[in-house]
């Protein structure tokens, strides 16, 4: 089977990249690659804004996470958006709830979309979260309804929408989830979350923290239990690349093993698939 276009383009997620890491990312990644900033609780706005501005200056596309429940006041969100737009030309956000109890004006991501005046602040497009393995605290039916509500609210406010999924270690589970999403009539672009090359101990920590233990057990079973060194999402990339038409989909790499290492892996994988597709073309005619 000829590979589809999955993994030819991609985005990565970084946690507090410093100037040296941003310079390295700019050397490795194609121009305008989206780099998402994780919603780290301890990061203060000046650091976030400066890093986003440096990414933009380096020719990459910064996409900032906005964690709804961490906003203490509506004015704080407006101030942050104004600075991000003015200093880093931010046009896209990833709007999430944030794993803390609601205390401010925005109890969830939907509230930010509905009341955050994002379009007025110069935001053109938002990402919204989704969970191929479900969510430990949210029933499956509620997850599906929330996804529909957020897409409808964003559309009503003139915002473009894409979906960013939580990572999973099971290509079969991801593929089934994508097919179900498309069968329900959701045609928005999907950035498929997957863990970039990471050691098994680190994967264990992040999987437990993020609630993806089910597919992690599959990764660790059988021959996988003997794996050493960094483990990449090769099986997921291969499966989705050969899966036929899944609509507009692309990898979204979580950089648990380091942003620079993840960037190298993503670029190498993209080049390999592009070369394989090019070689397959003559035989397809």
pLDDT at 54: 97
Q: Which domains, and CATH codes, for the chain?
A: 11-284 (3.20.20.220)
pLDDT at 8: 84
pLDDT at 205: 75
Residue 61, phi then psi, degrees to nearest 5: -110, 100
- Spans in the chain with pLDDT lower than 50: 1, 222-228, 278-285
Q: pLDDT digit string (tens) for 77-105?
A: 999 999 999 999 999 999 998 876 666 89
Greatest C-alpha distance within the chain: 60
pLDDT at 218: 57
Residue 181, phi then psi, degrees to nearest 5: -60, -50
pLDDT at 3: 62
Q: pLDDT digit string (tens) for 229-262?
A: 567 888 899 999 998 889 999 999 999 889 999 9
pLDDT at 216: 61
Give the HSE-up count for residue 144: Cα atoms under 13 Å, Cβ half-sphere. Answer: 12
Helices (H), the chain: 19-28, 45-57, 74-88, 109-115, 140-156, 171-183, 200-210, 213-220, 234-241, 259-284
pLDDT at 251: 96
Closest by CA to 163, choosing from 120, 196, 205, 126, is: 126
């Amino acid at each position: 089977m000829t590979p589809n276009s999955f993994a030819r383009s991609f985005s990565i997620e970084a946690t507090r990249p410093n100037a040296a890491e941003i310079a390295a990312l700019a050397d490795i990644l194609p121009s305008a690659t989206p780099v998402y900033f994780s919603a780290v609780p301890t990061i203060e706005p000046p650091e976030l804004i400066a890093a986003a501005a440096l990414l933009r200056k380096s020719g990459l596309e910064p996409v900032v996470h906005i964690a709804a429940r961490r906003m203490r006041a509506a004015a704080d969100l407006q101030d942050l958006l104004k600075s991000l737009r003015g200093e880093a030309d931010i046009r896209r956000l990833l709007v999430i709830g944030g794993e803390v109890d609601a205390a401010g004006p925005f109890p969830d991501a939907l509230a930010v979309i509905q009341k955050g005046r994002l379009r007025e602040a110069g935001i053109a497009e938002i990402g919204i979260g989704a969970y191929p393995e479900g969510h430990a605290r949210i029933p499956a039916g509620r997850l599906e309804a929330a996804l529909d509500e957020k897409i409808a609210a964003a559309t009503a406010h003139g915002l473009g929408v894409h979906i960013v999924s939580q990572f999973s270690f099971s290509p079969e589970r991801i593929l089934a989830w994508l097919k179900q999403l498309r069968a329900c009539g959701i045609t928005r672009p999907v950035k498929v979350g997957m863990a970039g090359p990471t050691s098994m101990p680190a994967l264990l920590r992040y999987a437990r923290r993020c609630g993806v233990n089910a597919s992690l057990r599959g990764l660790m079973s059988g021959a996988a239990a003997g794996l050493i060194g960094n483990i990449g999402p090769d099986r997921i990339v291969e499966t989705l690349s050969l899966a036929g038409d899944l609509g507009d989909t692309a990898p979204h790499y979580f950089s648990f093993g380091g942003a620079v290492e993840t960037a190298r892996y993503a670029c190498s994988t993209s080049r390999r698939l592009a070369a394989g597709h090019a070689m397959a073309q003559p035989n397809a005619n």
